[in-house]
Amino acid sequence: MTTQSSPRSTAIELLVAYHQNPTVSVRNKLVRLNAGLVRKIAHRISRQCCEPFEDLEQIGYLGLIRAIERFDPGHGYAFSSFAVPYIRGEMLHFLRDRSSAVKIPRRWQEMQKEGQRVREALTKELGRNPKDSEIAERLNVSINEWQEIKLSGKNRLLLSLDATVSQQVDSAVTLGDTLTDAHAQTLQIWEEDRQQIQRAMAQLEEKTRTAIELVYYSDLSRKEVAEKIGVSPMTVTRRIQRGVEQMIAILQPQPQSESVPSEL
């Protein structure tokens, strides 16, 4: 009798497999498994802005891919917690870039001002908020054009750092809370590099690894290392050179022959 793996166990297995041997096919499987997380964040942010949900979703997948490429299963924390800042960050960067890039035609800017006056006048006349069709008729433009004019005005507004992005159990998460900490990001990159170097060091022959550690970590001279391990300084130099070459080969990214599916 065979048992079927749960989605969670499957995701963990794929994350471990990708960390050990990164391939496009495994990465794409992880993207599909975590697509719901991207859609959830896109839905939350789409309620705070005027960008289409579909556009935010597609941008979010870029953040998910970055999270997959940087995630280390050995750290012991949940992938979803690690991925959320990457996904949300990509979406917010997209909104920031869009807000500064929108150029509104002068005619539309004038129509926005006139539309505001018409709205106020119709509100007094009708005793209620006017419909878009009523404002468009008074402005002598189509309803589609009026809605585009309104949308352009909203997209041009800069996002406040105090704007709520999502609501947690005990507090709201603001846009400012999600901005990348450059110092923390640098430390994270250093930590990742350190782990990669340690992984490569672990694959070296013991005497070669010892020579490298004593020279580069303990700051001993090659002569001191030679006396300590009972070999000549020339032998120490050769072992270090050979070890560094081996580490470079280990850390060298492997070529990937597979291509990314078009849907991603």
pLDDT tens-digit series, residues 89-129: 888 888 876 654 445 667 777 888 888 899 899 999 888 99
> How far, in whole angstroms, is CA 180 from its chain's centroid?
10
**Is 239 a residue whose pLDDT tops 70?**
yes
Q: Distance (Å, rounded) from C-alpha 201 to C-alpha 241?
A: 13
Contacts of 161 (CB under 8 A, 6+ apart): 174, 175, 176, 179
**Is 31 a residue whose pLDDT tops 70?**
yes
List pLDDT tens digits, range 166-214.
554 455 555 555 555 545 555 566 666 677 788 888 888 888 888 888 8
DSSP string for 64-125: HHHHHHH--GGG-S-HHHHHHHHHHHHHHHHHHHHHHH----HHHHHHHHHHHHHHHHHHHH
85-99, 147-161, 204-218 — which one is most confidently predicted on average?
204-218
Q: Distance (Å, rounded) from C-alpha 183 to C-alpha 189?
A: 10
For residue 254, the 8-state DSSP code is: P
Q: Whose CA is closest to 180, among 93, 101, 99, 96?
A: 93
Number of residues that make up the chain? 264
Q: Give the pLDDT band (50/70/90) at residue 260.
A: very low
**Is 226 a residue whose pLDDT tops 80?**
yes
Considering the four listed CATH numbers 3.60.21.10, 1.10.10.10, 1.20.58.760, 1.10.287.130, the one that applies to the domain covering 184-251 is 1.10.10.10
- The predicted pLDDT at position 259 comes to 42
- The predicted pLDDT at position 81 comes to 83
Mean pLDDT of 214-242: 87
Where are the chain's structural domains? Answer: 7-101, 104-178, 184-251
On the question of a common fold for 104-178 and 184-251, the answer reads: yes
- Fold classification of 7-101 is Rna Polymerase Sigma Factor; Chain: A (1.10.1740)
- The predicted pLDDT at position 177 comes to 54
CB-based contact 72:19 (threshold 8 Å)? yes
Calculate the average pLDDT of the chain. Answer: 77
CB-based contact 130:123 (threshold 8 Å)? yes
- Fold classification of 104-178 is Arc Repressor Mutant, subunit A (1.10.10)
